[in-house]
């Protein structure tokens, strides 16, 4: 029998993931052993310090990465420049979302339930709603999820990608179920997300098996090689690619795999929704880009029309359904679907420009959407967040500052120039225009014009209506939410006014290593 030796593991490249896995495990231990009162501060500090350490590791690595040393762990992981860029993005967005998750000034005990197992509406439930502070397991769960995402965007074979997909999804399913208020909707959302997520994972796995049959291996290099040489059976290739992309498009919330989005976004606790809207999107599109660009570059003429059709559907369904929404979180959910469509348009740019523009878009959209959900956590009444749109009427009079902030965010979503929404749409559309997808650009522009309507309706409602009895007040945010809000809005405006540094960074990073 031959000797087995551990393959070379480049710990510098793996450091961000290792740090986050370690921090998550520490978090679990803290929850097991620390006294109840001390858990929250310890968890918050541990999580934030861990994220900062991971970010430092990413930055240190970014200076040293080359085409030769990017691949490690026996070819399972490719920590190349796009991976590092996306990992950095994920860590920063995750940290900002974590600030929202950790906020406890808005509501006694924070936005999470203390004991999720207690029957909703029972006496014990009322007791805990009144006085218990929220579960601190959310911190290690968030970190686990983020670490899974870091691996997802760096996975160099489909099996690693699948495990990473599960690692980042499972904590999200749990987090969705932990809302302090409206717990039934929250649990409902979690169960639905879990069931449909498992369903989509099954497609992914099936596709993985078929692709193994095609290439005799599951690394992107192997698949690319087989496609290039014409070895392997082409039916397996296409069926496998179709099934794998279904799994990824589910996470990206593209039509017709978007059905979970509105319900889950609405039901999940708002900080978790912000995590999903920002980070899951980054991870899903990071994965999709890697699969399509690194693995299936050879057949891009064959998949382009299908992805394009999905992009068109996604943009149109997302924007048209957004028009009739009456709940702000649902509105943002449909807007996130439409944004997935714009991102798909960028993906079809199929060049370094396409890659860089999608990464640019992900950063810009991520920060804006977190800021948007941060504002939503602030607008509340005695029953928690007031998410019905009619309740937002006249908010501009009640608290002009936050209404202005939200207006800036909405204008950015609507793609008004000088905000990040404009520059990012401009980037993906010109990438697609360069990739001979001009008709997609036309649909994209039309859909963003439709989408501007619900956004501006909210703006007008906030500024041009009298506040009524129903208009909720805006709570004074704690330090954490303020920090998240400021970071989100500043980056939204900065990227809109001076996108140059970020564009430079993304175009520097736009090269996958198989």
Partner 1 sequence: MTSALHLVAAAAAAGEVTTGEKAVFFILAPIALIGAIGMVAARNAVHSALWLVLTMLSLGVFYIVQAGPFIGMVQIIVYTGAIMMLFLFVLMLVGRDASDAVIETLRGQQAWAIVLGVGFAGLLGTGLARVVGSLKVVGLEQANADGNVQGIAALLFTKYVWVFEISSALLITAAVGAMILAHVDRSLRDGTAVMSQPERMRARFEPGSYPGPKPGPGVFATSTSIATPAKLPDGTPAQRSISPILPTRELTAAEVANKQTEGR
Partner 2 sequence: MQTLIPLLVAIPLASAAILLLGGRLTDRWGHWLGVLAPMASFVLGLIAFFKLADLPVDARAYSTQLWNFIDSGSLHVGFGLLFDPLSAVFVLLITGVGSLIHLYAVGYMSHDEGRRRFFGYFNLFVAAMLLLVLGNNYVMLYLGWEGVGLASYLLISFWYNRNSAATAGKKAFLMNRVGDAGFAIGIFLMFATLGTTQYTEVFAGVAKLSTGTVLMMGLLLLLGACGKSGQFPLQSWLPDAMEGPTPVSALIHAATMVTAGVYLIARSNPIFSANATLQTVVVSVGALTLLIGCVIGCAKDDIKRVLAWSTVSQIGYMFLGVGLGGGAYALAIIHLLAHGFFKANMFLGAGSVMHGMNDQTDIRRFGGLRKYMPVTWLTFMMGWLAIIGIPPLSGFFTKDPIIEAAFNRPGWTGWLFGGVALLGAGLTAFYMTRLFVLTFHGPKRWTEDIEHPHESPWIMTIPLIFLAIGSVVAGFMMKTSVVTWLTPVLDPTGAEDEVHRITNVTGAILSVAITVVGAGIAYMLFRRGTALVEQPAGPVVTAARNNLYADAFNVAVFEKPGNWLTRGLVFLDYRGVDGLVNSLAAIVGGGSGRLRRLQNGFVRSYALSMLTGALLVVGAFLMVRLG
Binding site residues, partner 1, CB under 8 A = 1-2, 4-7, 9, 14, 21, 24-25, 28, 31, 73-77, 114-118, 123-124, 127-128, 132, 135, 137, 140-141, 144, 147-148, 151, 159-160, 163-164, 166-167, 170-171, 173-174, 177-178, 210, 213, 216, 233, 235-236, 239
From the CB of residue 366, how many other CB atoms can be counted at a distance below 10 Å? 26
Say whether residue 511 binds partner 2 (CB under 8 A). Answer: no
Q: Give the pairing of strands 384-385 and 473-474.
A: unpaired
Q: Which is nearer to partner 2, 59 or 442 (CB)?
A: 442
Cα 356 to chain center, whole Å? 17
Whether 467 contacts 397, CB under 8 Å: yes
Say whether residue 33 binds partner 2 (CB under 8 A). Answer: no
- Identify what 352 binds: partner 2, partner 1, none; CB under 5 to 8 Å per kind: partner 2
Say whether residue 245 binds partner 2 (CB under 8 A). Answer: yes
Residues 253-282 that bind partner 2 (CB under 8 A): 255-257, 259-260, 262-263, 266
What are 489's two structure tokens?
């809005």
Select the residue interacting with partner 2 from 42, 185, 483, 486 (CB under 8 A): 185
Whether 207 contacts 246, CB under 8 Å: yes
Nearest distance, CB of residue 150 and partner 1, angstroms: 11
Select the residue interacting with partner 2 from 59, 124, 195, 476 (CB under 8 A): 195
- Identify what 212 binds: partner 1, partner 2, none; CB under 5 to 8 Å per kind: none
From the CB of residue 453, how many other CB atoms can be counted at a distance below 10 Å? 13
- Identify what 196 binds: partner 1, partner 2, none; CB under 5 to 8 Å per kind: partner 2
Say whether residue 469 binds partner 2 (CB under 8 A). Answer: no
Say whether residue 125 binds partner 2 (CB under 8 A). Answer: no
What are 298's two structure tokens?
């050879």
Residues 382-411 that bind partner 2 (CB under 8 A): 400-401, 404, 411
Select the residue interacting with partner 2 from 441, 474, 484, 485 (CB under 8 A): 441
Of 506, 196, 190, nearest in space to 364 by CA: 506
- Identify what 45 binds: partner 1, partner 2, none; CB under 5 to 8 Å per kind: none
Say whether residue 446 binds partner 2 (CB under 8 A). Answer: yes
Select the residue interacting with partner 2 from 29, 60, 418, 490 (CB under 8 A): 418
Q: What is d(CA 287, CA 255) in angstroms, rounded to the nearest whole number?
A: 18
Region from 83-91, 171-179, 277-285, 500-508 binding partner 2, contact rule CB under 8 A:
500-508
Q: How many residues of this chain interact with partner 2, rule: CB under 8 A?
A: 80
Select the residue interacting with partner 2 from 29, 442, 476, 490 (CB under 8 A): 442
Select the residue interacting with partner 2 from 38, 309, 476, 479 (CB under 8 A): 309
Q: Which is nearer to partner 1, 6 or 382 (CB)?
A: 6
Q: Which is nearer to partner 1, 66 or 119 (CB)?
A: 119
How many residues in total does the chain contain? Answer: 514
DSSP string covering 82-123, please?
A: HHHHHHHHHHHHHHHHHHHHT--SSSTT-SB-S-TTSPTTSH
Cis check: omega of the bond before 256, within 30 degrees of 0: yes
Say whether residue 423 binds partner 2 (CB under 8 A). Answer: yes
Segment holding 438, helix H or strand E: helix 438-464
C-alpha dist (Å) from residue 302 to 224, 241, 242:
14, 11, 11
| Packing angle of the helix pair 352-378, 500-509 (nearest 10 deg) | 130
Q: Which is nearer to partner 1, 246 or 405 (CB)?
A: 246
What are 460's two structure tokens?
């007008």
From the CB of residue 469, how many other CB atoms can be counted at a distance below 10 Å? 4
Residues 286-305 that bind partner 2 (CB under 8 A): 302-303, 305
Say whether residue 381 binds partner 2 (CB under 8 A). Answer: no
In a 3-state reduction of DSSP, which class is residue 55?
helix
Whether 263 contacts 245, CB under 8 Å: no
C-alpha dist (Å) from residue 369 to 256, 276, 374, 421:
22, 10, 8, 11
Say whether residue 153 binds partner 2 (CB under 8 A). Answer: no
Q: If you count DSSP H runs as helices and E runs as strands, how many of each does the chain have, helices first? A: 21, 5
Residues 333-372 that bind partner 2 (CB under 8 A): 352-353, 356
Say whether residue 456 binds partner 2 (CB under 8 A). Answer: yes
What are 461's two structure tokens?
């409602």
Q: What is d(CA 437, CA 382) in angstroms, rounded to the nearest whole number?
A: 50
Q: Which is nearer to partner 1, 107 or 132 (CB)?
A: 132
- Identify what 473 binds: partner 2, partner 1, none; CB under 5 to 8 Å per kind: none
Say whether residue 453 binds partner 2 (CB under 8 A). Answer: yes
Say whether residue 494 binds partner 2 (CB under 8 A). Answer: no
Q: Which is nearer to partner 1, 125 or 297 (CB)?
A: 125
Nearest distance, CB of residue 233 and partner 1, angstroms: 5
Select the residue interacting with partner 2 from 163, 196, 209, 486 (CB under 8 A): 196
Whether 344 contacts 314, CB under 8 Å: yes
Cα 500 to chain center, whole Å? 23
C-alpha dist (Å) from residue 65 to 54, 55, 73, 119:
16, 15, 15, 51
Of 281, 273, 221, nearest in space to 249 by CA: 281
**Phi, psi (degrees; rounded to nearest 5) at 112:** -110, 155
Task: Scan for tokens 């693995």, then name that residue.
Answer: 295
Q: Which is nearer to partner 1, 1 or 382 (CB)?
A: 1
Nearest distance, CB of residue 314 and partner 1, angstroms: 21
Nearest distance, CB of residue 7 and partner 1, angstroms: 5
């Amino acid at each position: 029998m031959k000797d087995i030796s551990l393959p070379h593991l480049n710990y510098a490249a793996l450091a961000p993931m290792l740090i986050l896995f370690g921090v998550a495990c520490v978090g679990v231990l803290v929850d097991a052993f620390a006294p109840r009162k001390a858990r929250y501060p310890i968890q918050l500090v541990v999580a934030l310090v861990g994220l900062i350490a991971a970010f430092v590791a990413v930055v240190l690595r970014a200076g040293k990465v080359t085409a030769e040393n990017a691949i490690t762990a026996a070819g399972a992981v490719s920590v190349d420049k796009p991976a590092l860029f996306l990992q950095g993005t994920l860590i920063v967005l995750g940290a900002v979302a974590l600030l929202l998750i950790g906020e406890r000034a808005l509501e006694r005990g924070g936005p999470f339930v203390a004991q999720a197992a207690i029957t909703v509406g029972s006496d014990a439930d009322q007791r805990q709603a009144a006085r218990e502070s929220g579960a601190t397991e959310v911190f290690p769960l968030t970190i686990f999820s983020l670490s899974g995402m870091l691996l997802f965007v760096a996975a160099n074979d489909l099996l690693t990608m699948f495990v990473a997909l599960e690692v980042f999804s499972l904590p999200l399913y749990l987090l969705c179920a932990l809302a302090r208020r409206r717990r039934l909707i929250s649990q409902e959302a979690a169960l639905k997300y879990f069931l449909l997520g498992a369903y989509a994972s099954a497609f992914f796995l099936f596709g993985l098996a078929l692709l193994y049959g095609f290439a005799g291996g599951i690394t992107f290099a192997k698949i690319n090689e087989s496609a290039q040489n014409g070895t392997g059976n082409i039916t397996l290739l296409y069926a496998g690619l179709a099934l794998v992309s279904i799994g990824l498009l589910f996470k990206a919330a593209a039509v017709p795999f978007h059905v979970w989005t509105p319900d889950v976004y609405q039901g999940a606790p708002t900080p978790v929704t912000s995590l999903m809207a920002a980070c899951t999107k980054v991870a899903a599109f990071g994965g999709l880009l890697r699969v399509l660009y690194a693995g299936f570059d050879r057949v891009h003429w064959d998949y382009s029309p299908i992805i394009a059709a999905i992009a068109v559907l996604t943009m149109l369904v997302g924007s048209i359904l957004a028009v009739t929404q009456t709940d702000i979180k649902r509105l943002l959910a449909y807007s996130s679907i439409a944004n997935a469509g714009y991102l798909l348009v960028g993906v079809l740019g199929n060049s370094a420009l396409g890659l860089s523009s999608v990464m640019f878009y992900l950063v810009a959209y991520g920060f804006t959407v977190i800021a948007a959900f941060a504002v939503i956590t602030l607008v509340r009444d005695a029953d928690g967040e007031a998410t019905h749109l009619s309740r937002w009427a006249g908010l501009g009079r009640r608290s002009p500052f936050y209404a202005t902030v939200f207006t800036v965010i909405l204008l950015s979503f609507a793609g008004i120039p000088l905000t990040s929404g404009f520059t990012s749409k401009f980037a993906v559309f010109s990438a697609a225009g360069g990739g001979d997808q001009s008709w997609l650009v036309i649909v994209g522009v039309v859909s963003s014009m439709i989408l501007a309507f619900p956004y501006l309706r909210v703006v007008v409602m906030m500024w041009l209506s009298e506040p009524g009895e129903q208009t909720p007040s805006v709570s004074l945010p704690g330090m954490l939410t303020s920090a998240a809000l400021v970071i989100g809005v500043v980056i939204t405006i900065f990227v809109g006014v001076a996108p140059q540094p970020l564009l430079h960074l993304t175009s520097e990073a736009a090269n996958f290593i198989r």
